[in-house]
Chains A and B, each alone.
Chain A
Amino acid sequence: MNVTGVLAQNDIPAPHIEYGDVAPLLVVFGVAVLGVLVEAFVGRGWRYRVQVPLAFLGLVAAFGWTIALAARERPPHLVAAEGALGVDGPTLFLWGTIAVLALVSLLLIAERDQSHFTAQASALPGSEAEQETMAAGFVQTEVYPLMMFAVGGMMMFPASNDLLTMFVALEVLSLPLYLLCGLARRRRLLSQEAAVKYFLLGAFSSAFFLYGAALLYGFAGSVRLSDIATAISRNTGDETLLLAGVALLSVGLLFKLGAVPFHMWKPDVYQGAPTPITALMASCTLVSAFGAMLRVFYVALENLRWDWRPAIWAVAILTMVVGAVIAITQTDVKRMLAYSSIAHAGFLLTGLVATTTAGLSGTLFYLAAYGFTTIGAFAVITMVRDAGGEAAHLSRWAGLGKRSPLVAGTFAFFLLAFAGIPLTSGFTGKFAVFSAAVEGGATPLVVVGVLASAVAAFFYVRVIVVMFFSDPEPDGPAVVVAPTTVAAVALGLAATVVLGVLPQPVLDLAGQAAGQLFVR
Chain B
Amino acid sequence: MDDFPWLSLLIALPAVGALALALLPKGSDALAKRLALAISLVVAALTVVLAFRFEVGGPRFQFAEKYWWIKQFGVHWGLGVDGLALAMIVLSAILVPLVLLASWNAADRYGGAGEPPASAGDGTPARTRSAKAYFALILALEAMMIGVFAATDVFLFYVFFEAMLIPVYFIIGYYGGPQRSYAAVKFLLYSLFGGLLMLVAVIGLYVLSARPPAQGGLGEGTFMVDQLARLDLDPTTAKWLFLGFFIAFAIKAPLVPFHTWLPDAAGQAPAGALVLIVGVLDKVGTYGMLRFCLELFPGAAKWATPVVLTLAVIGIVYGAILAIGQIDLKRLIAYTSISHFGFIALGIFAMTSQGQAGAMLYMVNHGFATGALFLVAGFMIVRRGSARIDAYGGVQKVAPLLAGAFLISGLASLSLPGLAPFVSELLVLVGTFSQYQVAAVVATTGLVLSAIYILWAYQRTMNGPTADAVKGMPDLSRREVAVVAPILAIIVALGFYPRPVLDMVNPTVKQTMSRVQTQDPAPTVAEKGARP
The smallest beta-carbon distance between A205 and chain B, in angstroms, is 33
**Inter-chain contact A469/B181, CB cutoff 8 Å:** yes
**How many Å from the CB of A366 to the closest CB on chain B?**
13
Q: Which residues of B contact A451 (CB under 8 A)?
A: 196
In the bound complex, what is the Cα–Cα distance between A465 and B176 (angstroms)? 13
Residues of chain B within 8 A (CB-CB) of A453 are 196
Do A446 and B200 touch across chains, with their CB atoms under 8 A apart?
yes
Contact with A along B15-28 (1 / 0, CB 8 A): 00000000000000
CB-based contact B189/A450 at 8 Å: no
Partner of A468, one of B71, B174, B188, B197: B174
Q: Does A82 contact B (CB under 8 A)?
A: no
Contacts of A174 in B (CB 8 A): none
Determine if B173 and A465 form an interchain contact, defined as CB atoms under 8 angstroms apart.
yes
Q: Is the CB of A465 within 8 A of B185?
A: yes
B159-198: CB near A (< 8 Å → 1, else 0) gives 1101101100110011000001100110011001100110
- Residue from the list B73, B180, B196 in contact with A435, Cβ < 8 A: B73
Contact check, B73 vs A469: say whether CB atoms are below 8 A apart: no
Task: Tell me which of B98-106, B201-209, B419-427 binds A.
Answer: B201-209
In the complex, the answer to whether A438 meets B207 with C-beta atoms within 8 Å is: yes
Task: Pick out which of these stretches binds chain B: A232-240, A241-249, A368-376, A416-424.
Answer: A416-424
Asked if B72 is an interface residue, CB under 8 A from chain A, the answer is yes
A291 to chain B, nearest CB (A): 20
- Min CB–CB distance B244 → chain A (angstroms): 9
Assess the B72–A507 pair: CB atoms within 8 A: yes
Q: Check: A473 CB closer than 8 A to any chain B CB.
A: no
A439 contacts partner chain B, Cβ-Cβ < 8 Å: yes
If A422-B159, A465-B173 touch, does A443 touch B200 (CB 8 Å cutoff)?
Answer: yes
Residues of chain A contacted by B166 (CB below 8 angstroms): 416, 421
- A439 touching B210, Cβ below 8 Å: yes
The answer to whether A454 and B189 have CB atoms under 8 Å apart is yes
Please indicate the chain B residues that have their CB under 8 angstroms from the CB of A454 in the complex.
189, 192-193, 196
Residues in chain B near residue A468, CB distance under 8 A: 170, 173-174
Q: Mark A92-109, 1 if CB is under 8 A from B, else 0.
A: 000000000000000000
Q: Are B192 and A457 in contact (CB under 8 A)?
A: yes
CB distance from B101 to the nearest CB of A (A): 26
A462 at the interface (CB under 8 A from B): yes
Contacts of A435 in B (CB 8 A): 73, 203, 206-207
Chain B contact-residue range equals 20 to 34
For window 436-451 of A, CB contacts with B under 8 Å fall at 438-439, 443, 446-447, 450-451
Question: What sequence of 0s and 1s flags, for each residue 445-475 of chain A, a beta carbon within 8 Å of any chain B beta carbon?
Answer: 0110011011001100110110011100000
The answer on a CB contact under 8 Å between B203 and A504 is no
Indicate whether B70 reaches chain A with its CB closer than 8 angstroms: yes
Residues of B within 8 A of A153 (CB): none
B158 contacts the other chain (Cβ, under 8 Å)? yes
Answer whether A423 and B159 are a contact pair too, CB < 8 Å, given A431-B73, A435-B73, A507-B72.
Answer: yes
CA distance A508 to B71 in the complex (A): 9
The answer to whether B159 touches A469 (Cβ under 8 A) is no
Whether, in the assembled complex, B199 has its beta carbon less than 8 Å from a beta carbon of chain A, the answer is: yes
Contact B196 A508 (CB under 8 A): no
Complexed CA–CA distance, A435 and B173 (Å)? 33
A447 proximity list for chain B (CB < 8 A): 200
Is A507 a contact partner of B196 (Cβ separation < 8 A)? Answer: no
Q: A511 at the A/B interface (Cβ < 8 Å)?
A: yes
Check A421 against B184 for contact (C-beta < 8 Å): no
Given A431-B73, A469-B173, A507-B72, do A422 and B158 touch, yes or no (CB 8 Å)?
yes
Pairwise interchain contact A450-B170, C-beta atoms closer than 8 A: no
Encode B263-287 as 1/0 by CB contact (under 8 A) with A: 0000000000000000000000000
Q: Which residues of B contact A423 (CB under 8 A)?
A: 159, 163
Cα of A421 to Cα of B170 in the assembled complex, Å: 14
Measured in the bound complex, the distance between the Cα atoms of B197 and A465 in whole Å is 24
The residue in chain B whose Cβ has the minimal distance to the Cβ of A422 is B159
Q: How many angstroms between the C-alpha atoms of A419 and B192 in the bound complex?
A: 10
Interface residue tally of chain A, by bracket? Answer: 20 to 34
**CB of B258 to closest CB in A, whole Å:** 14
| Smallest CB gap from A430: residue in B | B199
Contact residues in A for B158 (Cβ distance below 8 Å): 422
Residues of B within 8 A of A508 (CB): 72
Instruction: Verify B72–A450 contact, CB threshold 8 A.
Output: no
Structural contact, A461 and B200, CB atoms closer than 8 A? no
**Docked CA distance A470–B185 (Å):** 13
A283 to B180, CA, bound (A): 35
Q: In the complex, which of the residues A427, A435, A453, A470 has the most CB atoms of chain B within 10 Å of its own CB atom?
A: A435
CB 8 Å contact bits of B121-134 with A (1 = contact, 0 = none): 00000000000000
Q: How far is the CB of B118 from chain A (nearest CB, A)?
A: 10
Among B71, B162, B199, B204: residue with most chain A CB under 10 A: B199
- Expressed in whole angstroms, the minimum distance between the Cβ of A328 and any Cβ of chain B is 12
Give B77 Cβ to nearest chain A Cβ, in Å.
11
Taking CB atoms, residues of chain A closer than 8 Å to B204 are 438, 443
Expressed in whole angstroms, the minimum distance between the Cβ of A387 and any Cβ of chain B is 27
Candidates B189, B199, B207; contact of A457 at CB < 8 Å: B189
Q: Chain B 367-406 against A: per-residue CB contact (8 Å), 1 yes, 0 no?
A: 0000000000000000000000000000000000000000
Report the minimal beta-carbon distance from A172 to chain B, rounded to whole angstroms: 35
* CB proximity of A424 to chain B, nearest CB, Å: 9
Q: Which residues of B contact A511 (CB under 8 A)?
A: 72
C-alpha gap A438/B240 in the complex (Å): 14
Interface residues of B in 253-311 (CB under 8 A from A): none
| Inter-subunit contact B180/A469 (CB<8 Å) | yes
Q: Is B184 a contact of A469 with CB atoms below 8 Å?
A: yes
Do A421 and B180 form a contact, CB below 8 Å, given A461-B188, A465-B185? no
**Chain A residues near B163 (CB, 8 Å)?**
421-423
Contact of B184 among A416, A450, A465, A504 (CB under 8 A): A465
| A469: nearest chain-B partner, CB-CB | B181
Q: A457-B189, A468-B173 are in contact. Are A450 and B70 (CB under 8 A)?
A: no
Residue A503 is within 8 A (CB to CB) of chain B in the complex = yes
Give every chain A residue within 8 A of B160 (Cβ-Cβ).
Answer: 422
Contacts of B165 in A (CB 8 A): 421
CB-based nearest A residue for B164: A422
**Binary interface encoding of chain A residues 404-439 relative to chain B, with 1 for a CB under 8 A from any of its CBs, else 0:** 000000000000100101110001100110110011
Of all chain B residues, which has the CB nearest A424?
B163
Residues of chain B with a CB closer than 8 A to A428's CB:
70
Instruction: List residues of chain B with CB within 8 A of the CB of A422.
Output: 158-160, 162-163
Once the chains are docked, how many angstroms separate the CA of A137 from the CA of B207? 60
Measured in the bound complex, the distance between the Cα atoms of B28 and A247 in whole Å is: 63
How far is A427 from B180 in the complex, measured between Cα atoms in Å?
27
Q: Which of A419, A432, A504 has the most CB of B within 10 A?
A: A504
CB-contacts of B55-73 with A (<8 A): 69-73
Bound complex: CA A115 to CA B196 (Å): 42
Roughly how many angstroms separate A454 CA and B251 CA in the complex, as a whole number? 14
Cβ contacts under 8 Å, B174 to chain A = 468-469
Q: Give the CA-CA distance A423 to B144 in the complex, in Å.
A: 12
Q: Is the CB of B72 within 8 A of A431?
A: no
Closest to B130 in A: A405
Binding site for B on A (CB under 8 A): 416, 419, 421-423, 427-428, 431-432, 434-435, 438-439, 443, 446-447, 450-451, 453-454, 457-458, 461-462, 464-465, 468-470, 503-504, 507-508, 511
Excluding A427-B162, A511-B72, 17 further A-B contacts by CB distance (< 8 Å) are: A416-B166, A422-B158, A423-B159, A434-B199, A435-B73, A435-B203, A438-B203, A461-B185, A465-B173, A465-B184, A468-B170, A468-B174, A469-B173, A469-B184, A504-B69, A504-B72, A507-B72
Q: List the interface of chain B (C-beta within 8 A of A).
A: 69-73, 158-160, 162-163, 165-166, 169-170, 173-174, 180-181, 184-185, 188-189, 192-193, 196-197, 199-200, 203-204, 206-207, 210
26 residue pairs bridging A and B, Cβ less than 8 Å apart: A419-B192, A421-B163, A421-B165, A422-B158, A427-B159, A431-B73, A431-B199, A434-B203, A435-B206, A435-B207, A438-B203, A446-B203, A447-B200, A457-B189, A458-B189, A461-B185, A462-B185, A468-B174, A469-B174, A469-B180, A470-B181, A503-B72, A504-B70, A504-B71, A507-B70, A507-B73
